[in-house]
Amino acid sequence: MSDFALGQRWISDSESDLGLGTIVAINGRRISMLFPATGDQREYVAGSAPLTRVSFNPGDSVESAEGWTLNVHQVMAEDGLNIYIGERSDNGEKAQLLETRINHHIKFNKPQDRLFTAQIDRNDWYTLRYDARCMQHKYQTHPLVGLAGARTALIPHQLHIAKEAGSRVAPRILLSDEVGLGKTIEAGMIIHQQLLTGRASRVLILLPESLQYQWLVEMLRRFNLKFAIFDEERCGEYDESEENPFETEQLIIAPLTILSESDKRLEQACQASWDLVVVDEAHHLDWSEEAVSPQYSAVEKLAKICAGLLLLTATPDQLGHQSHFARLRLLDPERFYDYATFVKEEAGYKAVADLAKLLNSDEKIDADGLEKLKSLGEQEQGEGFEASVLSINDADKTVAQQARHKIIRSLIDRHGTGRVLFRNTRASVKGFPKRCVLPTELELPSEYRAAADWWLKRHPEDYSAKAVAPLLTPEFLYQNAISGDIEWWRIDPRIDWLAELIKENKQDKFLIICARASTALTLEQAVRVKFGLNAAVFHEGMTIVERDRAAAWFADQDEGCQLLICSEIGSEGRNFQFARQLVLFDIPLNPDLLEQRIGRLDRIGQRNDIQINIPYFADSAAETLFNWQHKGINAYAETCPAGVKVFEQQNDALLTALASNQFDETQIKPLIERAKAEIEQINLQLEEGRDILLELNSKGFDGERIAEDIEAMDDDTQLVAFMLQTFDVYGVSQDDKGEQCIAINPTEHMLEPHFPELGDEGMTISFDRETALSREDVRFISWDHPMVQGCFEMINAGEMGNNAVSILNNKALPEGTYLVELIFVVETSAPKQLQPGRFLPPTPVRILLDKAGNDLAAKVTFDGLNKQLKPVNKQVASQLATALQPQIHELIGQAETKANVERDNLIAQSIAKVDEELGDEIERLTALKAVNPSIRPIELESLIQQKTALHEHLKQARVKLDAVRLIVVSHN
């Protein structure tokens, strides 16, 4: 410790938050120190005082009490006080600053300042900081950012779509996988990826009101994304303040109806800017040349102003091919501008599809095929196309396959709806359970027949769906049209049949779907009164909260109810795959609606064969329809994508047959035969036609590989070690619960009052995907998890661990010699949407200097050195740092020069990476644009802009000293 003099500036080692102290009195060995920043005064005894003298070196900047800053050039001493001589940074004038006039609010948070002012951190904190830097750098440059962290099983077709669409700039696509194949999950993965990579920050999800909580929960549970639901009530809260409700949150879920039913809300939604708009159950966006639905108009307005747009529907053709086309137009109005042209183009893909099919097989491509490919190549001038053609019959199977995949990708890019539309089918995904079709014929009560006759009399010769569909719900006709006296369930044989079925399958849960809410309600009453069975009901008359409560009651495995009785709305979007028994209390006319119903159970996650129970009335419209659907288009045992088309083709004949309300085999048989033939024909066409391209596009070739890469990330123990160490250092308690689970809780000894994502009640976490998937209560901690990201930020943003002093016990080095380890960070401050992290994320640069200024970092690794180091107590550490201050100061200057050289290298590398990645993509899109109009100009323009802006920002990258460690050699 140096000699004391009045006016000297010191800092307390144990109370550094008091700020800079000034010696105000010296009485023999007693020293009085005033800390003006806090007004505190302390008495110390010289010799044992935990104090460190604050002194600066040439090259430092010091703030004066008046607020100006001096760049120190020289330090002199007079009467025990330092005088700093240099230049003022505000006016460039030469100036002197006496130690007593230094600003007492000065904060020492730079690593070297803290080292020299005795604020020395523990070695394990220093290590944690360096680890956090290295790991964050590794994470930010990883190609799977945003893809690996979802709490989902690794399903290749989903991963392919998510990677393909999620990595685009403002993706505009239609996700139309068959029911239950995971469109919501795919959309979630895309949103997650776009948010985590900075491509998006504002997202709006529009959906049928009945699905809003399911989405809310899926986004939170699977992706840790906290959406807010904006229904009319919530929006209304902002009316008085005239604030735009849609601008008050970043991630919003809203029922589509609030926009389609209110011009004001639509206007507000359009005024708020969106990076991504998602529309679920997009088949409701009905459009034809004659009539445009309000839902379509609302989305059309939004589609014009939002950047990315995801439309989700399992049944894109449900409202006809024109509507399908119209939805594609929402995605890209320039590409899909005219329906007739679109239809013509669709028909023209056969030749290309034939080639794609051949390439996707193991067959050798003969001379004819090669010729066709070459001529395609000439038309398209695709990069590397011809080179790939030469390798497609290569003896090395891997080479041949790679070449074939490359060509197929190029064909997909250049033809049809390839880049816009994704559709996976059960046939292509495989591995789904069987559907068991269990029809039961029941006698039609005479009362029902009378009711139907009455109805038909009121609608003579009317073969519209509106007139015919009620025949499929005779209980409705009976109750409403004929008799209010005897409740329908007292005469309906389906009730006893149902009770029997339930009795035979006591352990099973039953989802019962009927067309009408009134039927659902009465049915619930019937099973309760007649058989004492409790059932949840779910229909459009209930509030959303009531519906969710009903669904949750049904889902509860321990205390839940056995039956859920739904009206048709229960058949859309909901997840009931934990049940295996489905009862179709009536049959819907439209095959897509039928598929939606079955799809509640036939979904990813269904572990049993599905029992589809169909109680239909003999010799009625239901028998006719069931036979046509089952035998004609096979809509029960399998999904039937072509069913709707055939249904539309045979609509008149089928409705006429149904209108008789009788089963006339001679009349229906030819219809069934025709339907079968047409299905076969369409399937053949699909097989031969453009859909092979669509299928290959949707399934991709990289899904398996992505899944393997994510598995490798999951198995990387580095993350586990890092998080456990962070919990330890920050004072979060950990309790190993076995089965790969750890309970973590805040404690009273936390370093920071708020640990990222950890509430007062604590949580159970797992780093194991399988465990997290099988246990609802467990959080899945992955690299993407906000807790991990929050820890990176917390560690890097604070000063904790930014310096340390250690002893190196190494006899090969002379005692008393020392090393200085410096961790610099090279960083840019580009806007997040440019994704600077992909090219130059904050990059740690480690320099290890010996006393002569030689850099040993390449020879001595961080971990290797760390293993040899011993801790040293704070006081000794501070004495060592103070004693070596001028030398360390000098070495920091030398290290900075080296770090700047490294910065220049990193800038050059990152710019080369930008040119390679974005340049390739720009070249590819430019070439594609010449042959495929589905490349949107904005996609290309924004890539070009991104490239230029990145160049600018990367060149501005700066070097910052992030941490410093003094290592002193001792032989004791």
Ligand X SMILES: Nc1ncnc2c1ncn2[C@@H]1O[C@H](COP(=O)(O)OP(=O)(O)OP(=O)(O)O)[C@@H](O)[C@H]1O
- Which positions make up the binding site for ATP? 177-184
In the complex, minimum distance from the CB of residue 553 to ligand X, in angstroms, rounded to a whole number: 17
Residue 51: CA count within 13 A, CB half-sphere: 30
Residue 410 CB contacts under 8 Å (≥ 6 apart), including other chains:
380, 382, 385, 388
Task: Find the farthest-apart pair of alpha carbons in the chain and give their distance in angstroms, rounded.
Answer: 121
Task: State which residue, 605 or 937, has the beta carbon closest to ligand X.
Answer: 605
Task: State which residue, 605 or 814, has the beta carbon closest to ligand X.
Answer: 605
> Residue 510 phi/psi, 5° resolution?
-120, 125
In the complex, minimum distance from the CB of residue 571 to ligand X, in angstroms, rounded to a whole number: 9
In the complex, minimum distance from the CB of residue 263 to ligand X, in angstroms, rounded to a whole number: 29
Give the burial class of 66: count Cβ atoms within 10 A of its Cβ; 0-12 exposed, 13-18 middle, 19 or more buried: exposed
In the complex, minimum distance from the CB of residue 710 to ligand X, in angstroms, rounded to a whole number: 11
Task: State which residue, 32 or 575, has the beta carbon closest to ligand X.
Answer: 575
In three-state form (DSSP H/G/I as H, E/B as E, the rest C), the secondary structure along 803-821 is EEEEEECCCCCCCCCEEEE
In the complex, minimum distance from the CB of residue 769 to ligand X, in angstroms, rounded to a whole number: 10
Task: State which residue, 84 or 636, has the beta carbon closest to ligand X.
Answer: 636
CB atoms within 10 A of CB 936: 21
Beta strands in 690-792 (DSSP E): 733-738, 741-745, 763-766, 778-780
558 contacts 588 by C-beta, under 8 angstroms: no
Sign, CA torsion 775/781/785/787: positive
Query: How many residues are present in the chain?
Result: 972
DSSP string, 651-716: HHHHHHHHHTTS--HHHHHHHHHHHHHHHHHHHHHHHHSTHHHHHHHHH-S-HHHHHHHHHHHHH-
Cα–Cα distance for residue pair 754/746, rounded to 1 Å = 9
Residue 23: CA count within 13 A, CB half-sphere: 25
In three-state form (DSSP H/G/I as H, E/B as E, the rest C), the secondary structure along 555-572 is HCCCCCCCEEEECHHHHC
Task: State which residue, 577 or 802, has the beta carbon closest to ligand X.
Answer: 577
Cα–Cα distance for residue pair 755/160, rounded to 1 Å = 35
Task: State which residue, 229 or 658, has the beta carbon closest to ligand X.
Answer: 229
In the complex, minimum distance from the CB of residue 643 to ligand X, in angstroms, rounded to a whole number: 16
In the complex, minimum distance from the CB of residue 190 to ligand X, in angstroms, rounded to a whole number: 12
Task: State which residue, 51 or 179, has the beta carbon closest to ligand X.
Answer: 179
Nearest Cα to 688, choosing from 371, 349, 423? 349
Task: State which residue, 120 or 179, has the beta carbon closest to ligand X.
Answer: 179
In the complex, minimum distance from the CB of residue 624 to ligand X, in angstroms, rounded to a whole number: 28
In the complex, minimum distance from the CB of residue 596 to ligand X, in angstroms, rounded to a whole number: 7
In the complex, minimum distance from the CB of residue 178 to ligand X, in angstroms, rounded to a whole number: 7
Task: State which residue, 456 or 601, has the beta carbon closest to ligand X.
Answer: 601
In angstroms, the Cα distances linking 28 to 4, 25, 753 are 11, 10, 42
467 contacts 460 by C-beta, under 8 angstroms: no
Task: State which residue, 315 or 910, has the beta carbon closest to ligand X.
Answer: 315
Count of helix runs (H) and strand runs (E) in the chain: 37, 31
752 contacts 794 by C-beta, under 8 angstroms: yes
Task: State which residue, 150 or 954, has the beta carbon closest to ligand X.
Answer: 150
In the complex, minimum distance from the CB of residue 595 to ligand X, in angstroms, rounded to a whole number: 9
In the complex, minimum distance from the CB of residue 572 to ligand X, in angstroms, rounded to a whole number: 7
Residue 818 CB contacts under 8 Å (≥ 6 apart), including other chains:
850, 851, 884, 887, 966, 967, 968, 969
270 contacts 302 by C-beta, under 8 angstroms: yes
Cα–Cα distance for residue pair 105/100, rounded to 1 Å = 13
151 contacts 221 by C-beta, under 8 angstroms: yes
Task: State which residue, 114 or 192, has the beta carbon closest to ligand X.
Answer: 192
Q: Which segments are annotated as binding site?
A: 177-184
Specify the residue for token string 């501005």. Answer: 956
Nearest Cα to 285, choosing from 301, 269, 262, 273? 301
Cα–Cα distance for residue pair 139/842, rounded to 1 Å = 11
In the complex, minimum distance from the CB of residue 310 to ligand X, in angstroms, rounded to a whole number: 12
Cα–Cα distance for residue pair 302/298, rounded to 1 Å = 7
Task: State which residue, 143 or 605, has the beta carbon closest to ligand X.
Answer: 605
Residue 177 CB contacts under 8 Å (≥ 6 apart), including other chains:
157, 183, 186, 314, 422, 423, 424, 425, 698
Q: Which amino acid is at 688?
A: E
Task: State which residue, 189 or 787, has the beta carbon closest to ligand X.
Answer: 189
In the complex, minimum distance from the CB of residue 318 to ligand X, in angstroms, rounded to a whole number: 11
In the complex, minimum distance from the CB of residue 69 to ligand X, in angstroms, rounded to a whole number: 56
400 contacts 392 by C-beta, under 8 angstroms: yes
Which parts of this chain interact with ligand X (CB under 6 A)?
152-153, 155, 158, 177, 179-185, 314, 573, 575, 599, 603-605
Task: State which residue, 602 or 678, has the beta carbon closest to ligand X.
Answer: 602
Specify the residue for token string 């001792």. Answer: 970
**794, two tokens:** 């917390």
